Amino acid sequence: MTLVCETTDEAVAGVEDGSTVLVGGFGMAGMPVDLIEALIRQGATDLTVVSNNAGNGDTGLAALLAKGRVRKMVCSFPRQTDSWVFDGLYREGRVELEVVPQGNLAERMRAAGAGIGAFFTPTGVGTPLAGGKETREIDGRTYVLEYPIKGDVALIGAHRADRAGNLVYRKTARNFGPVMATAATTVVAQVHEVTEIGGIDPEVVVTPGIYVDRVVELR
């Protein structure tokens, strides 16, 4: 059952210290800024955050980092022109970093959501990011073994939801949302509109409600 929350504070209630939090978005597109602000108010700390980037500007993920709530970032592209918050914390040794090739990041979460124990991928073979990892030659090509990334919580931004938790996204703001929605124990989506059941054509649903635990409409 999907819970339709009245507030973002209700939507992020119960996140525990030490949780692994999957945070949607690519840059600011699809970034669930309101849920992150609620998570800052909620107070959970010592978090491992999995997200493509490590925050932009001073809002959203950057604000969570600035509050010192993040122990470790798992991401593909932390360094950007506007990632000064992360850059400063990293250089001061106040946040750990695991860099993961972007496709491996997506596929590791897809694997977690799909019940796959691990998978062999050609991405990263022969590079420092495959260092120390098991490799195998299959049909003449070398692959590296990668393990799933499972979240305790996923915070994602979508465009619309119905009260059954079915989600549709908008343009490239879809990015990591549908994958992260499958890969966490508790999945929370912020949306611009929550419609009645039947308000979204079943043919266009991108994330079926089975994956979504809580939705909150932004006002």
Partner 1 sequence: MSLTRAEMAARVAADIPAGSFVNLGIGQPTTVADHLTPESGVVLHTENGMLGMGPAAGGDEVDADLINAGKIPVTELPGASYFHHADSFAMMRGGHLDVCVLGAFQVSHTGDLANWHTGAPDAIPAVGGAMDLAIGAKQVFVMMSLFAKDGTPKLVPECTYPLTGVGCVDRVYTDLAVFEVGPHGTRLVETFGVTADQLASRLDVPLVNA
Backbone angles phi, psi at 180, to 5 degrees: -65, -30
Applying CB under 8 A, among 5, 20, 30, 49 the residue interacting with partner 1 is 30
Phi-psi region of 55 (alpha: psi -120 to 50; beta: other; left: phi over 0): left
Q: CB–CB of 148/178 below 8 Å?
A: no
Indicate whether 127 belongs to the interface with partner 1 (CB under 8 A).
Answer: yes
- What's the closest the beta carbon of residue 142 comes to partner 1, in angstroms? 8
- What's the closest the beta carbon of residue 49 comes to partner 1, in angstroms? 16
Applying CB under 8 A, among 5, 63, 107, 191 the residue interacting with partner 1 is 107
- What's the closest the beta carbon of residue 52 comes to partner 1, in angstroms? 8
Indicate whether 80 belongs to the interface with partner 1 (CB under 8 A).
Answer: yes
Indicate whether 190 belongs to the interface with partner 1 (CB under 8 A).
Answer: no
Nearer to partner 1, 14 or 94 (CB): 94
Nearer to partner 1, 173 or 188 (CB): 173
- How many residues contact partner 1, by CB under 8 A? 48
E strands, the chain, where? 3-5, 20-23, 47-50, 70-75, 96-99, 119-121, 135-138, 141-146, 151-157, 160-162, 167-168, 184-191, 193-195, 214-217
Instruction: Give, in order, the Cα–Cα distances in Å from 36 to each of 100, 103, 129, 134, 200.
Output: 22, 24, 29, 36, 26
Nearer to partner 1, 26 or 49 (CB): 26
Instruction: Give, in order, the Cα–Cα distances in Å from 73 to each of 23, 53, 55, 131, 219.
Output: 11, 9, 10, 19, 30
Indicate whether 135 belongs to the interface with partner 1 (CB under 8 A).
Answer: no
Applying CB under 8 A, among 69, 160, 174, 214 the residue interacting with partner 1 is 174
Kindly indicate which of the ranges 6-14, 64-72, 105-113, 193-201 contains the residues binding partner 1, using the contact rule CB under 8 A. Answer: 105-113
Indicate whether 45 belongs to the interface with partner 1 (CB under 8 A).
Answer: no
Nearer to partner 1, 15 or 31 (CB): 31
Indicate whether 85 belongs to the interface with partner 1 (CB under 8 A).
Answer: no
Residue type at position 194:
V
Report the Cα 59 to chain-centroid distance in Å. 16
Tokens of 212: 């979504």
Nearest to 52 by CA among 189, 160, 130, 149: 149
* Contacting positions for partner 1 (CB under 8 A): 26-30, 52, 76-80, 86-87, 90-91, 97, 99-107, 109-110, 121-129, 169-179, 206
